[in-house]
Amino acid sequence: MLQVINLEKSFGGIKAVNGCSFEVSKNTITGLIGPNGAGKTTVFNLISGFHAPDGGKILFNGSRIDPLPPYRVPHLRLSRTFQITRELKKMTVIDNLMVAPLNQMGESLLNSWFRIPSVKHQEQQIKDKALDVLDFLEIEDLKDEYASNLSGGQKKLLEFGRTMMTDPELILLDEPGAGVNPTLMKKLNGYIEKLQRRENMTFFLIEHDMDLVMKLCNPIIVMNEGKRLAEGTADEIQQNQEVLDAYLGG
């Protein structure tokens, strides 16, 4: 589904991604791990179009996506979250969700004035979907709350919910567990597994919580110094000496 081929990206003199290649297969929960500075988030930024690569290719469902501007990438049904939650603070929880769907007719200035029935109909569908997502994430009672008033964990759920609004085939989750308490994390895992099974969604996630990664992800890709170091099941990764050395600094 997603192929990253010999990807390169430098910032000044630092090679953040240095010839990295891997694949993410359809309907998997693929983990991306590695020590700090391994280049994981840069890879996510390259896939989602936020950075332009210096070299290499990114293919999604067989088409090159690396030359696309970032706003074109979600239209291919590839959605992402951010490492640090980026809730729209001065907007309500439901508006945070309702802004996410693509190709909204009401986002044309003329349609905002004339409000033809199909615009209203689409808006109603978007609202119903947002309420379903809030219900699924069990935060329906917060729908009219400003996003800035949510707890850290609730913001993570909101960000996760926002990606669900776009009907993605592939969701990139950048540290979904960061700052989330164990109970909420268990819940979030449940949601990811449920969506993968029921909706055939594919997840590609960066995470530092090894228990979570080992339990949830298969396969797991390990990055170090901008390259793919290893790939395999949780057991294979745990027994890989190169991986252990990278983490322990050996």
Partner 1 sequence: MSGAVGFLVFFLTYAVVYAILAIGLNIQWGFTGLVNFGVAGFFAVGAYLSAFMTSTPSPYHLGGFGLPFPVGLIVAMAASGIFALILGIPVIRLREDYLAIVTIGFAEIIRYVIITEENLTKGPYGMGVIKPYKELVPPSFYSLFYLGIAVIVLVLLYVAMQRAVHSPWGRAIRTIREDEQVALAFGKNVDFFKLQVLVVGSMIFGLAGAVFGHFFNFITPNHFLPMETFLVWVMVMAGGSGNNLGVIIGALAVRGLWEGMMFLSDILPQGIQIGAVRLAVIGLLLILVVMVKPEGILGEKKTASDIL
Minimum distance from residue 174 beta carbon to partner 1 (Å): 11
Among 68, 99, 131, 184, binds partner 1 (CB under 8 A): 99
Is residue 229 within 8 Å of residue 246, measured between CB atoms?
yes
Does position 241 bind partner 1 by CB under 8 A?
no
Per-residue x/- track, 178-217, partner 1 (CB under 8 A) = ----------------------------------------
Does position 119 bind partner 1 by CB under 8 A?
yes
Minimum distance from residue 208 beta carbon to partner 1 (Å): 22
Does position 111 bind partner 1 by CB under 8 A?
yes
Does position 167 bind partner 1 by CB under 8 A?
no
Q: Hey, what amino acid is at 144?
A: D
Among 36, 62, 63, 113, binds partner 1 (CB under 8 A): 113
Minimum distance from residue 79 beta carbon to partner 1 (Å): 7
Is residue 243 within 8 Å of residue 227, measured between CB atoms?
no
Per-residue x/- track, 79-98, partner 1 (CB under 8 A) = xx-x---x-xxxxx--x--x
Is residue 98 within 8 Å of residue 130, measured between CB atoms?
yes
Number of residues that bind partner 1 (CB under 8 A): 44
Cα 166 to Cα 169: distance, rounded to the nearest angstrom: 9
| Neighbouring-strand partners of residue 80 | 172
Tokens of 199: 């909706």
Q: Return the range that interacts with partner 1 (CB under 8 A); candidates 18-26, 28-36, 44-52, 192-200.
A: 44-52
Is residue 160 within 8 Å of residue 168, measured between CB atoms?
no
Rounded to the nearest 10 degrees, what angle do helices 182-198 and 152-164 cross at? 10
Q: Please enumerate in sequence order all residues whose Cβ is within 8 A of that of 229, keeping only pairs 6 or more positions apart, or say none.
A: 34, 222, 223, 242, 243, 246
- Residue 207 CA from chain centroid, whole number: 11
Among 46, 100, 185, 195, binds partner 1 (CB under 8 A): 100
Does position 74 bind partner 1 by CB under 8 A?
yes
Minimum distance from residue 167 beta carbon to partner 1 (Å): 12
Minimum distance from residue 45 beta carbon to partner 1 (Å): 10
Minimum distance from residue 106 beta carbon to partner 1 (Å): 3
Helix residue ranges, H only, the chain? 40-47, 93-98, 109-114, 117-136, 152-164, 182-198, 210-216, 234-238, 241-248
Cα 175 to Cα 32: distance, rounded to the nearest angstrom: 10
Tokens of 5: 């081929």
Is residue 227 within 8 Å of residue 242, measured between CB atoms?
no
- Residue ranges binding partner 1 (CB under 8 A): 48-50, 69-72, 74-75, 79-80, 82, 86, 88-92, 95, 98-109, 111-113, 115, 119-120, 123-124, 127, 144, 146, 162, 166
